[in-house]
């Protein structure tokens, strides 16, 4: 399978191993479209996953970056941080998503694909 790509089902253990071996050993970078509820995963940069979503028709304002840590304890596996999240026009001035409603939406969407 070619990465990054849009997930269509819950990620498998085999895919987790493949992604962590290919990119970053303890983390999987993702881009999440909070409007269409799509997740693109498997990249060195969040922007690479973002490009996959943009080609699919997503709007940039709806795409946020996050990190999934498959080997951490449940409840500690999702991090809402990425360079692409710095968006002063949307009221987000840091890498960390500081809007709790956006965080909640990302968590809901991610739970369809990852064991959080």
Residue-wise pLDDT tens digits, 62-116: 999 999 999 999 999 999 999 999 999 999 999 999 999 999 999 999 999 999 9
Phi, psi torsion values for 66, nearest 5 degrees: -150, 170
Residue 114, token pair as written in the block: 């990852």
**Looking at residue 79, what is its pLDDT?**
98
**Looking at residue 50, what is its pLDDT?**
97
Please report which confidence band the pLDDT of residue 60 belongs to, taking 50, 70 and 90 as the band edges: very high
pLDDT higher than 80, residue 1? no
**Looking at residue 106, what is its pLDDT?**
98
Phi, psi torsion values for 9, nearest 5 degrees: -155, 175
**Looking at residue 107, what is its pLDDT?**
98
Residue 37, token pair as written in the block: 């509820």
Dist CA 35 CA 57 (whole Å): 11
| Secondary structure element (H or E) that encloses residue 60, with its range | none
Residue 22, token pair as written in the block: 């290919």
Residue 5, token pair as written in the block: 């790509």
Phi, psi torsion values for 17, nearest 5 degrees: -60, -45
The average pLDDT across 16-39 equals 94
Q: Is 67 exposed, middle or buried (0-12, 13-18, 19+ CB in 10 A)?
A: middle
């Amino acid at each position: 399978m070619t990465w990054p790509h849009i997930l269509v089902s819950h990620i498998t253990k085999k895919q987790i191993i493949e992604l962590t071996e290919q990119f970053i050993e303890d983390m999987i970078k993702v881009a999440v479209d909070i409007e269409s509820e799509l997740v693109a995963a498997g990249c060195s940069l969040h922007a690479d996953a973002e490009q996959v979503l943009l080609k699919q028709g997503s709007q940039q304002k709806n795409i946020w970056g996050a990190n999934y840590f498959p080997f951490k304890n449940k409840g500690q596996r999702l991090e809402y941080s990425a360079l692409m999240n710095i968006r002063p026009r949307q009221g987000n001035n840091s890498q960390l998503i500081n809007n709790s409603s956006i965080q909640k939406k990302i968590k809901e969407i991610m739970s369809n694909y990852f064991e959080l």
